[in-house]
Amino acid sequence: MQFSAAQIALMVKGTIEGNADTAVDAFGKIEEAKKGELAFLANPKYEDFLYSTEASIIIVNQQLQLKQAIEATLIRVPDAYSAFASLLYKYQQIKTQQLTGIQEPVYVHPSAKIGDDVFLGAFSYIGENVVIGNGVKIFPGAYLGNQVQVGDHTIIHAGVKIYYDCIIGSHVVIHAGTVIGSDGFGYAPQPDGSLKKVPQIGIVMIEDAVEIGANTTIDRATIGKTLIKSGAKLDNLLQIAHNVEIGNNTVIAAQTGVSGSTKIGNNVMIGGQVGIVGHIQIADGSKINAQSGVSKSIKSANTAVTGSPAHEYTAALRSQAITRNLPELEKRIKELESAVKLLTEKLNSPDEK
């Protein structure tokens, strides 16, 4: 699939500097791209590669000032990283749109409703009364339980398991191996010390434009719903417990665990390996540093926290700085103690009286 600089500039609303007829058929990193490939430059640390790369077309920021002439055709845009991401998204859309039809073998229950231009990969399972919208792509080995609903243009990758009654919005991407709607972790202690399972009869609802990484688990609610709101982006290997709510455009990095009934606000950023206890609230715009342990609610919007237990980011950095200086402080205290001791002895000596 080949594109000219003129076509690419039109897609990213950029300005061409060089030969508009230059064509590419692949993508490459600027430090190793070859002739016929498209690269981008957004980070100034990589600017030196601009003058040595073999890339045929390079997307750059409008304000970039060239230090010397280059052979590649440039496409100038306000934000090179965003433009390149948009281009990759469009390229991926073109590739996935080509997939239509039903491979064999598959199981589709007679009561299921399948939209137009749908792709069902081999060995996928579509249960009773499932509703699948237009343009949906379901890759091999996926399982959709009874009464599952999937909105238009959603992509469900290989091996995804979506349990009964769960609702998936439009333009959602769910990566391989993810499980949606498994039982929440609920057990009632009994007088004899045993644990009795609490039935989990709620659902998982995922709104539009959500992306969920590989091998993530989102548990169904005990009652009601576990809710992932529009635009949220969830990384690989997450554990989202029963009745959790994740707000619009919130981003959560890998290996984070969110305990039951916690409410996470909009535009929150959560680093990798964060642990969040249950039944608390995380305010809009909060930033939680990697490996933090959040044990109480974050009530003020746009608060940054770090550590375990997590506390305010700037205060935590000051505490870390003090901790690093403790050996030097100990040395100074010992020196002061010695000086005080000598001064005391001198003041108490007979010669001083």
Which domains are assigned to the chain?
Answer: 3-97 (3.40.1390.10), 101-314 (2.160.10.10)
The residue annotated as part of the active site, out of 109, 175, 242, 279, is 242
Structure tokens at 286: 């909060």
For the purposes of burial, counting CB atoms within 10 Å of the CB of 104, is it exposed (0-12), middle (13-18) or buried (19 or more)?
exposed
Q: Dmax of the chain from CA atoms?
A: 109
Say if residues 152 and 132 touch (Cβ distance below 8 Å). Answer: no
Structure tokens at 246: 């994740």
Query: 179: which DSSP letter?
Result: E
Tell me the HSE value of 54 on the side-chain side, using a 13 A CA sphere: 6
In this prediction the pTM is 0.82
As a whole number of Å, the CA-based R_g of the chain is 28
Say if residues 276 and 295 touch (Cβ distance below 8 Å). Answer: no
CA dihedral 282, 285, 286, 290 (to 10 degrees): 120
| Bridge partners of residue 77, in order along the sequence | 61
Residue 69, CA distances (Å) to 56, 63, 146, 214, 301 in order: 14, 16, 62, 44, 48
pLDDT in tens, 135-162: 999 999 999 999 999 999 999 999 999 9
Which amino acid, one-letter code, is at 83? Answer: A
Q: Are strands 179-182 and 161-162 parallel, antiparallel or unpaired?
A: parallel
d(CA 106, CA 135): 18
CA distance from start to end of the chain: 99
Cis peptide before 350 (omega within 30 of 0): no
Structure tokens at 134: 């237009």
Residue 125 sits at φ, ψ, to 5 deg, of: -125, 125
pLDDT at 70: 94
pLDDT at 215: 98
For residue 311, indicate whether it is catalytic: no
pLDDT at 99: 83
The dihedral built from the CA positions of residue 72, 78, 80 and 84, taken in this order, carries a sign that is negative
Q: Are strands 73-77 and 57-61 parallel, antiparallel or unpaired?
A: parallel
d(CA 98, CA 83): 23
Structure tokens at 155: 């992509």
Nearest to 57 by CA among 43, 68, 44, 41: 41
pLDDT at 351: 66
| Bridge partners of residue 144, in order along the sequence | 126, 162
Residue 183, CA distances (Å) to 27, 67, 147, 160, 305 in order: 42, 59, 17, 16, 31
User: Mean pLDDT, 10 residues at a time, over the chain (353 residues)?
Assistant: 93 96 95 96 94 96 94 96 92 80 96 97 98 97 98 97 98 98 95 96 98 98 98 98 98 98 98 97 97 96 91 77 84 91 83 60
